[in-house]
Amino acid sequence: MRTTCVIAGGGPAGAMLALLLARAGVEVTLLEKHADFLRDFRGDTIHPSTLEILDELGLSAEFHGLTHRKTDRLVVWTDERLVEVASLRGLKSRFPYIAFVPQWDFLNLVTLAARRYPTFRLVMEAEVVGLLRENGAVRGVRYRDAEGEHELRATLTVGADGRHSDVRRAAGLVPVEHGAPMDVVWFRLPREKTDIDDTFLRVSAGRLMVAINRETYWQLAYLIPKGRFQELRAQGVEALRASVGTLLPFLAGRAEALESLSEVSVLQVAVNRLRRWHRPGLLLIGDAAHAMSPVFGVGINLAVQDAVAAANLLAGPLRAGTVPEALLRRLQRRRMAPTVITQLAQRLVQARLIRPALQGSARPLRLPRDPSRLPVIGAFARRFIGLGVLPEHVRSPEAAARRAGHPDRPRS
């Protein structure tokens, strides 16, 4: 079997790249090892940068038709007060807010849009298990499905198979680890209409919890020191319920709804990136090239930005049937700065706020009264969180026309 571009992994990076290439007339096959996109406790923060991309693709109305919640500010709740650390109000974008949408809804939307193009093929329950090589270049993949093992040859192979990438391992590429002081324990508790409306980070000495308002329930992320989940497990579910009560007294009575620790899911936080994102015939993007910390909730958005940059640069050469490695190098150069700068900012927050708080510091960070209102800092945070570093735009005549129709939008 043969295709022009084979993509391993139907997460945000792989699904978006497949859509963009199919739309540009490139024959593309997307292989996803799971039977569906339904995985709980995945990132679900769609930032303005991604909302703009969806708009450029004509998918904004469909996206906003999904059940979602919007927030236009990031709030930290200390022992003393509620602090608005960043606000997206005033961001130069048609979409000055973060939309919370379950990741599976987002992926269904993107892959459904891709199905409208005849050059798109999606194979679910297809796990990439190895790479095909010829004359020192990658020339496709071996994948396994219910019927057995297959070979799929391709001009370009893309590894978008996430932080534990099999493609990366098969290519012999090893990311440089930058470390994180925490792991995250995810679980949910019922929400009542009279509860606080914000999505927020609660910080207290020795304890941190992110609470995401999902209307009928709270999705909670309890931060623990790295590698300490076994300790929490030994203490039992009561210890976790007690932490909920201490940090969020309004939820104390509802913590009983968490019956056992089998209902929680643990994210081992990693911050890493590859030195080299490519080999001849092979490209890695998204978490496979750079795992992001959950700080700022930008993982999905960076993955989407990689996909847009890759499609802009590679669709033409793919249609012509050849992708020189120099182009892959150029793509890495383009995406490296946003990756490095975002990871540096995440590591700063990890070092200055999260680590001291986990170590028990009573005042891990001295926050000014309203940081989001400070002229320079407020504007910088708004742009950094909303649009990211060097935001990408879809390059196509239709996308340019759509952007031109909205004068408040940046032009590429």
Ligand X SMILES: Cc1cc2nc3c(=O)[nH]c(=O)nc-3n(C[C@H](O)[C@H](O)[C@H](O)COP(=O)(O)OP(=O)(O)OC[C@H]3O[C@@H](n4cnc5c(N)ncnc54)[C@H](O)[C@@H]3O)c2cc1C
Q: Which parts of this chain interact with ligand X (CB under 6 A)?
A: 8-14, 31-34, 41-45, 127-128, 160-162, 166, 186, 267, 286-288, 292, 294, 297-301, 303
Task: Specify the residue, 74 or 402, whose C-beta has the smaller distance to ligand X.
Answer: 74
CB of 39 to ligand X, least distance (A): 7
In 3-state terms, what secondary structure has residue 389?
coil
- CB 25 to ligand X: min, Å: 23
**Closest distance to ligand X from the beta carbon of 49 (Å):** 11
Q: Which is nearer to ligand X, 117 or 187 (CB)?
A: 187
User: Cβ neighbours of residue 16 under 8 Å, at least 6 residues apart?
Assistant: 53, 110, 303, 304, 307, 308
Q: Can you tell me whether residue 129 is helix, strand or coil? A: strand
For ligand X, which is the closer residue by CB, 281 or 402?
281
- Long-range (24+ apart) CB contacts under 8 A made by 244-252 are 244/189, 244/209, 244/220, 246/204, 246/207, 247/202, 247/204, 247/207, 247/209, 248/202, 248/209, 248/211, 250/195, 250/196, 251/189, 251/218
**Smaller CB separation from ligand X, 298 or 403:** 298
Smallest distance from ligand X to CB 232, Å: 16
For residues 212-237, one letter each, b for 16 or more C-beta atoms within 10 angstroms of the residue's C-beta and e for the rest, the string is bbbeeebbbbbbbbbeebeebeeeeb
Nearest CB to ligand X, comparing residues 164 and 363:
164
**Cβ neighbours of residue 390 closer than 8 Å, sequence gap 6 or more:** 334, 337, 338
Q: Smaller CB distance to ligand X: residue 311 or 403?
A: 311
Question: At closest approach, how far in Å is the CB of 289 from ligand X?
Answer: 8
Closest CA to 71 of 94, 89, 49, 56: 89
Least Å distance between CB 37 and ligand X? 7
